[in-house]
Structure 1
């Protein structure tokens, strides 16, 4: 089971019933197409082929907020926002919505008309706009944490700020770096890296990442060993991941994967993710029993789970 960062929702439209016969004199007109394979109108077909936009005055359009998915095939206006979204059909029973880093994606059954899709989007418009705005704000926070890799660069380590100092003459080349107290006792702690002052930004970044990954593995093993006995489970293997939208995963064979970037968060947040994945070794789903299992070792998991979603971590690309 995986711990994702994604945002999704479902909408189940009712399949259209067969149209009632229309009276023409004393005879009834023949019924329309079978409801199991409803025909889309010519207008629907042309709309799906292009990007049907509601009529909006130009001055209003220019003033609208804009959310554009890079693979957008359709557009709509929701409230005061223009939303261009990715639309696909498939073998499914409901209309699904996913708001991710790229924007809104909509999935629909093959039998649902575009008119029904539009109606579903309108009905979910408040939720869609709220999630789009949250995602946009989260992206802005992440962009604000982009690191300029040089002497003096700063980033969070277990919830506290550390500052890089390039010090190739120090005697710790074998371990890559050491974490010292701040220079004045008040500022951030100092991470001394065995990297030359004239090193490329990528070299400094890679050295910092290697140091953080070593700290992450050490800490994750310690926390796995702490929580596993309390949950009555055994883990067998730890792997570090660098996934963009997944903080961790667990397999029935006892294998655990944890994103090394968790090391940026405070220990309670890390503990929540560790306990979450270990709990899956007892309950391989997200049922009520699963969350009770997590709560047994992390009582405030819901608050920590929200922090994991809200707090921005440095952008390493």
Structure 2
């Protein structure tokens, strides 16, 4: 495939047209199929040298698997009045105050939204991204100081396959959707990525740094594996 990512669709007997993302990867050794809850579709990781035709053929061979997994996806929850969404893992109701001049704010288990309600989904999403930066950045700098490292830049994105990343240049990136997870899970991911400033790998030395910074993280890792994909069901997607 000429492009790194190609978006198309496949027609499934019981679900109709389903979005498909073909993502070429130089690191992949085989075709890999996964459900992407962020866009209600399926992604195929395609190694270099494998044709588009072969990738689509594999999709058609796994129609039953795709339909079964897509049918189990929870409903998408938009950030609109009446919806309930997790904020640092605690359920909050979204309520409208159209005439208020405060934008978006959280108070006593409620996320209040002012202004025109047709903009509610975007405004709450923007607010959550700002809250993610406010929660993540101080924790990251504090953890980095513990190991004598400096962070070059912190970015908040809407990544689909990683909760965070660390570059060799000291740049950290985090998914804004961590603000929806329990606080201890967010805290663990921050410690995990900061540990990469010292060990840019997943060796035993790396996990020793994570343990020194955060402590035991088995519970938080298990939560992400079990519940992480569901965080992509919130909002309209990007």
TM-score, with structure 2 as normaliser = 0.70
Query: Is 1:223 matched with 2:142?
Result: no
What CA distance in whole angstroms lies between the structure 1 residues aligned with 2:110 and 2:206? 40
What CA distance in whole angstroms lies between the structure 1 residues aligned with 2:169 and 2:29? 35
Residues 106/161 of structure 1: CA separation in 2 closer, same or farther (3 Å cut)? same
Residues 254/195 of structure 1: CA separation in 2 closer, same or farther (3 Å cut)? same
* Structure 1 stretches lacking a partner, 5+ long: 1-61, 63-68, 73-85, 111-127, 182-188
Q: Which deviations, in whole Å up to 9, do the C-alpha atoms of 1:28-77 show, x marking residues without a partner? A: xxxxxxxxxxxxxxxxxxxxxxxxxxxxxxxxxx9xxxxxx9779xxxxx
Matches within 5 A, 1:243-258: 243-258=159-174
3-state SS in 1 of match to 2:141:
helix
What CA distance in whole angstroms lies between the structure 1 residues aligned with 2:26 and 2:113? 53
- Which residue among 256, 275, 297 is the counterpart of 2:213? 297
Q: Which deviations, in whole Å up to 9, do the C-alpha atoms of 1:154-191 show, x marking residues without a partner? A: 1110000111111122241xxx222121xxxxxxx111
Partner of 1:96: 30
- Which residue among 194, 207, 230 is the counterpart of 2:114? 194
Deviation at 1:242, TM superposition (A): 1.0
Partner of 2:197: 281
What CA distance in whole angstroms lies between the structure 1 residues aligned with 2:26 and 2:189? 33
Which of these two proteins has the greater Rg computed from alpha carbons?
1
TM-score, with structure 1 as normaliser = 0.54
* Contact kept? 2:164, 2:174, Cα under 8 Å: yes
What CA distance in whole angstroms lies between the structure 2 residues aligned with 1:158 and 1:296? 24
Query: Is 1:214 matched with 2:134?
Result: no
* Contact kept? 1:249, 1:256, Cα under 8 Å: yes
What CA distance in whole angstroms lies between the structure 2 residues aligned with 1:224 and 1:155? 25
Q: Which deviations, in whole Å up to 9, do the C-alpha atoms of 1:124-154 show, x marking residues without a partner? A: xxxx9xxx79x938x834x33x114432111
Residues 283/192 of structure 1: CA separation in 2 closer, same or farther (3 Å cut)? same
Query: Is 1:136 matched with 2:69?
Result: yes
